Chains A and B, each alone.
Chain A
Amino acid sequence: MQLFEDFEPEGADAAGAAGEQAPALGGGEYEPVEGRDRQSIECQRACESVAAKKTASDYSHIVWAYGIIWALFCGYGILMWRRAQRLAADVEALRRRIDNGK
């Protein structure tokens, strides 16, 4: 497995380099806003919606998995508690029987 942090998308360095060069151009005068074209924005939104769906699905899977683990352990605990109750009742029955026998 790999961590997400270690992953560097291609072109990240190039973008960083371009960002460093940008201030050298600028002076006090008019500077156009460097907007992104429509196509790349739509592409980004599409990626974001895929990512959002994936995250939502991941969360529901995780919640189910964790819920099941805890439910199982709790269920076993309850079973054991009931067993202990029955055992205590049985001890009581034995005690009564011994007392009656005397």
Chain B
Amino acid sequence: MREAALSTLPRAKNAPMRLPRQAWLLARNDLRQEMREWELVATAGFFTLVVLVMFALAFATLSRDAQVLAVPGMLWLTVAFVGALTLTRIFDRERESDTLRALLAAPVERLAIYLGKALVTLLVLLGCCAILVPGVVLLFPAAAPLAEHPIQTVTLVVLGCLAYTSVGTLFAAGLATSGGKNVLLSVILYPLTTPALIFALVATRALIENHPDFSKYLSQLAALDIVLVGLSGWLFESVLVGTGARRAPTTRRRRG
């Protein structure tokens, strides 16, 4: 199935459409599988719902002033939880059939693999946000401004999820190929994505409070997205394949 998808990839070198096209073909392949099984969307969507209900139970009695502060936190914490779950599942799939290694050996741009995986993760995450944001608006009256400014809300959610996805895809892919334990993904991901989540948090609060600085925060988040996507894309090949000649010891011994 995946081999069939690979054979449809254009082989011509340095064609201008090569990279985006390859990335899109890889992402489409994953999405098709997802459309057949609905595994990711169903599990991640349900998880979003459960987290939302838990937050609602914990914070239902908050006053309106406190809600203004709590809602952005709930929103982006849920994104962080769901994101880690989605990334684990997406790359578990690859690990089960060892397809990522096959993909890396195939004549495909490595950057295209990264972009394809990041696109799938982003779409799943956005799907979950389609449950999350209306749910938050329904449950907490203070979050109403999110519904009143739909364009700003959608932009903010897309930019925030993109920041999380760009870092997450790199490290989830690295863990999947190194045979590392999945628990390490959360260990890596939460400290590293904190600044991006803080930016998203501040911007969300500004949107809820109708603060004039909202557009400034949004453009800063966009700039951070560019930095994170660029850095992750640049590191992706080195992390997954390695460049130099030194043979890494197959096992590190534990002493004592």
Contact = CB atoms under 8 A, between A and B. Distances in A.
User: Is A in direct contact with B (CB under 8 Å) within the complex?
Assistant: yes
Interface of A: 82-83, 86-87, 89-90
A87 B255 CA distance: 7
A83 B253 CA distance: 13
Nearest to A85: B256
A50 B28 CA distance: 73
Contacts of B255: 83, 86-87, 89-90
A34 to B, nearest CB: 62
Contacts of B256: 82, 86, 89
A73 B99 CA distance: 47
9 contacts: A82-B256, A83-B255, A86-B255, A86-B256, A87-B255, A89-B255, A89-B256, A90-B253, A90-B255
State the main secondary structure of chain B at its contact with A.
loop
**How many residues of B sit at the interface, in one of the four size bands?**
under 10
Contacts of A90: 253, 255
A89 B255 CA distance: 9
Nearest to A93: B255
A68 B43 CA distance: 48
A40 to B, nearest CB: 50
Interface string B98-118: 000000000000000000000
A96 to B, nearest CB: 15
B64 to A, nearest CB: 41
Contacts of B253: 90
B255 to A, nearest CB: 4
Contacts of A86: 255-256
Nearest to B255: A86
A89 to B, nearest CB: 7
A89 B253 CA distance: 13
A93 to B, nearest CB: 9
In the A-B complex, the 9 residue pairs with the smallest Cβ-Cβ separation, listed nearest first, are A86-B256, A86-B255, A90-B255, A87-B255, A89-B256, A90-B253, A89-B255, A82-B256, A83-B255
Interface string B61-75: 000000000000000
A86 B253 CA distance: 12
Nearest to B256: A86
A51 B255 CA distance: 54
Contacts of A82: 256
Interface in B219-256: 253, 255-256
A90 B255 CA distance: 7
A87 B256 CA distance: 9
Nearest to B254: A86
A90 B254 CA distance: 10
B253 to A, nearest CB: 7
Contacts of A87: 255
Contacts of A89: 255-256
B254 to A, nearest CB: 10
A23 B255 CA distance: 83
A86 B255 CA distance: 6
A82 B256 CA distance: 10
Interface in B42-58: none
